[in-house]
Amino acid sequence: MKEKHLPISKRLKTIATYLSQGSYFLDVGSDHAYLPCYVCQHDHKAQAIAGEINEGPFYSAKQTVEKYGLSNRIDVRLGDGLDVLNDSDAPFELVIAGMGGTLIKKILGRGHQLLTHFKRIIVQPNIDERDARIALLRLGYTITHEHLIKENGHIYEIIVADFINSKEMEKWAEKDLLLGRQLQFERHPLFIEKWQSEHRARARILSQMKRAKKKNDEKMARFERELSWIEEVLDYE
């Protein structure tokens, strides 16, 4: 029997709002395939490929898709990042959510030849958002939306990028890559909360680095630079 209601987080629901109507998308690192199932339940024309590198989540994804009767619209595949795609596949949107920005950058970098297939890429890095931005910009995408949400005490960034086939990387200052351009402009209360907390964490690490016997001058200089950008944006005296 088909189950009706899918348990899905506010974070994944927000990501879903950035997919187009009738989307055909690849969800890399789909885990339980909650996002593809939710999207296909709410959009009868949507289709998805749910990619997973690990067997445990791959079987969980298969189970969810069967449980909700969506096997004809969601193809669950085992593989690393974009390797799950075949020449005949034509998903036009890509989601990579719930992992670190450095891993997102690695997945995008490895699959760079396939990336022009995607009109839109939506990423949700748990940390190291700067790496995710760099990867998108290097690949000819422009960042069209930056969104913050808070769930279970954690603030998440959702970054949406559209393909423009132009390298915008040099137009981005280091500070913007770290903090996000739209996010700085909007100054949402969650942005302030996030960067107040990041400021405290960086200041603590910097003071530990200063007390250490063996000093890493380059790393300390980077932390000092980042602290000054954060202070600027938070209007600290």
For 28, phi and psi rounded to 5 degrees?
-85, 130
DSSP state of 117: G
203 touching ligand SAM, by CB under 6 A: no
Per rule CB under 6 A, is residue 99 in the interface with ligand SAM? Answer: yes
**Which C-beta is closer to ligand SAM: that of 99 or that of 135?**
99
Token pair 């890493």 in the structure block, residue: 216
Comparison of 60 and 199: residue with beta carbon closer to ligand SAM: 60
Q: Does 196 bind ligand SAM (CB under 6 A)?
A: no
* Residue 107-126 contact track with ligand SAM, rule CB under 6 A, x = bound: x-------------------
Tokens encoding 106: 């690695």
Residue 81 Cβ, how far from ligand SAM at the closest point, in Å? Answer: 4
Q: For ligand SAM, which residue of 97, 123, 135, 159 counts as binding (CB under 6 A)? A: 97
Of the candidate residues 6, 40, 48, 81, the single one contacting ligand SAM (CB under 6 A): 81
- Angle at alpha carbon of residue 171, lines to 167 and 177, rounded to 5°: 95
Size of the chain in residues: 237
Answer yes or no whether residue 226 interacts with ligand SAM by CB under 6 A.
no
Burial class (CB in 10 A: 0-12, 13-18, 19+), 157: buried
Tokens 């086939």, residue?
A: 165
Give the full edge-to-edge strand order of the sheet including 24-28: 74-78, 47-52, 24-28, 93-99, 120-125, 154-163, 141-151
CB closer to ligand SAM out of 12 and 179: 12
Instruction: Decide whether 74 or 97 has the Cβ nearer to ligand SAM.
Output: 97
Residues 16-45 that bind ligand SAM (CB under 6 A): 28-31
Strand locations in 171-227 (E): none
Q: Which residues bind ligand SAM (CB under 6 A)?
A: 12, 28-31, 51-54, 57, 80-81, 97-99, 103, 107
